[in-house]
Amino acid sequence: MSERIAVVGVGQTEFKSRWLEISQVEMVHLAVKRALENAHLTIKDIDAVFVGNMELFEGNYQVDMWLTEGDGAYLKSGMKIQTGGSTGSSVCTTLFDHAATGLFGAILGIGYEKQDEGSSDFGLRLVSEDTFFDIANGGRGAGPAMAAMALDMLKRQSVTEEQIAQLRVQESENACRNPHAHLRKRLTVEEVMNSRLLIPPLRILHMCPASVGACAMIVAPEKVAKKISPNPAWVVDWVTVHGGTLPPLGHMGVYMEETELGPQWAFGVEQASLKLYKRCGITNPRKEIDVIEVYNMSTWHEAEWWERMHLCEKNGAGKLIKERATAMDGDIPVNPSGGVVSTNAIGASAMQRFAEAAIQVRHEGGERQVPNAKTAMAVTAGGDSYSAAALFRKSL
């Protein structure tokens, strides 16, 4: 029991806004195929398959049953994971738990979203709210919470609007180097600052798209990883933390700096990051980690997460932007993949943070590779302040 484990294969499809000519099964199959190719394995080598999906998005109940048609789960172990608020990262932690038991050889996890089927708008906005209290908030979604968070960031001078625009440009530059990203257009500060205002100060170019695509990841315990992989990404540790939202706040919650848990989503990110640092003996994350992938559902969130992860002092995000510290050539590159603001296939996005971190320490990042990355961290965030974080190393 308690084996050391590694990511030995990653596969991603392309990500776009509609993919009408492919079914969910075929899309998942494509990601699985690519992950197997990347790992130099066949489906025969896989012992278990795990699927993450929010069933009300595409409207398929127990979709893991149908997906056995394309994900190779026939006569293999596995189950479906659906943790609110981040299914993709939950599939990863389930994968990691299973691999660490030593009971399995290589195992496979899948996160995907096919938003052109079903109505994830409906799935996300209406039904995630409480029956009795969310009469007014039902359908309004994350808007107020995100806007309030952004307004507070401006108020306490953590960032300026122009700095957010600069950061957005940086994110788009990164995305251009990622062949799997959805939005691959290099933006300018003017474009971002003049883009349509949604809820002040949020602008449409600050927000993530709705993407369609799949991501698959193969994990194995040490003895198997060493045999089958020339460059495993060792998963040093992983943690998850939940918040505790109260309806009628809904899972999107309200940004409340003044409550002891702080802004809704931030609680999880901060707790998970600090816990991970402590367990891995990291005292100066900015220096000791080479590259980080965070779950930036908007550009504002990326900046907020840096502070919550203690990469800088409180209200210091703007300084990091000014210094370009988190750019590819900065001292703490963040989201070389372009992050969620460039690609958001909900079920896949969280898994992609882990996958991209693994890609970095395996040196398979191609144009988006951070040179000499040895230690990478992935942090996700989601509804109800859920956060999962993991640390990857090139060698043990």
- Six-digit token string for 218: 């193969």
Restricting to residues 261-320, which ones interact with another protein according to CB under 8 A?
Answer: 271
Which CB atom, from 250 or from 333, has the smaller least distance to another protein? 250
- Six-digit token string for 308: 């919550």
| 258 lies in the binding site for another protein (CB under 8 A) | yes
| 330 lies in the binding site for another protein (CB under 8 A) | no
| 219 lies in the binding site for another protein (CB under 8 A) | no
What is the C-alpha separation between 119 and 266, in angstroms, rounded? 28
Restricting to residues 150-179, which ones interact with another protein according to CB under 8 A?
Answer: 151
Q: How far is the CB of 326 from another protein (least distance, A)?
A: 28
Which is nearest to 72 in space by CA: 97, 106, 116? 106
| 85 lies in the binding site for another protein (CB under 8 A) | yes
Q: How far is the CB of 92 from another protein (least distance, A)?
A: 11
Which CB atom, from 150 or from 321, has the smaller least distance to another protein? 150
Restricting to residues 44-73, which ones interact with another protein according to CB under 8 A?
Answer: 49, 54-57, 59-62, 64-66, 68-69, 73
Question: Looking at 260, 281, 313, 372, which residue binds another protein (CB under 8 A)?
Answer: 260
Q: Exposed/middle/buried for 54, CB within 10 Å: 0-12, 13-18, 19+?
A: buried
Q: Exposed/middle/buried for 363, CB within 10 Å: 0-12, 13-18, 19+?
A: middle
Which CB atom, from 139 or from 366, has the smaller least distance to another protein? 139
Which CB atom, from 64 or from 304, has the smaller least distance to another protein? 64
What is the C-alpha separation between 26 and 225, in angstroms, rounded? 28
| 195 lies in the binding site for another protein (CB under 8 A) | no
| 76 lies in the binding site for another protein (CB under 8 A) | yes
What is the C-alpha separation between 108 and 390, in angstroms, rounded? 17
Q: How big is the site for another protein, counted in residues (CB under 8 A)? A: 96
Instruction: Report in angstroms the alpha-carbon separations of 275 from 159, 269, 294.
Output: 26, 10, 16
Q: How far is the CB of 94 from another protein (least distance, A)?
A: 6
Q: 126-156 burial, b if ≥16 CB within 10 A, otherwise e?
A: eebbbeeebeebbeebbebbbbbbbbbbbee
Write phi, then psi, for 4 (nearest 5 degrees): -80, 145
Q: What stretch of H or E contains 154?
A: helix 143-155
Which CB atom, from 68 or from 369, has the smaller least distance to another protein? 68
| 21 lies in the binding site for another protein (CB under 8 A) | yes
Q: How far is the CB of 371 from another protein (least distance, A)?
A: 32
Q: How far is the CB of 69 from another protein (least distance, A)?
A: 6
Which CB atom, from 23 or from 195, has the smaller least distance to another protein? 23
Question: Looking at 74, 283, 313, 372, which residue binds another protein (CB under 8 A)?
Answer: 74
Restricting to residues 106-145, which ones interact with another protein according to CB under 8 A?
Answer: 116, 121-141, 143-145
| 199 lies in the binding site for another protein (CB under 8 A) | yes
What is the C-alpha separation between 91 and 240, in angstroms, rounded? 12
Query: Quick one: CA dihedral 309, 313, 315, 321, positive or negative?
Result: negative
| 248 lies in the binding site for another protein (CB under 8 A) | yes
What is the C-alpha separation between 74 and 51, in angstroms, rounded? 13
| 240 lies in the binding site for another protein (CB under 8 A) | yes
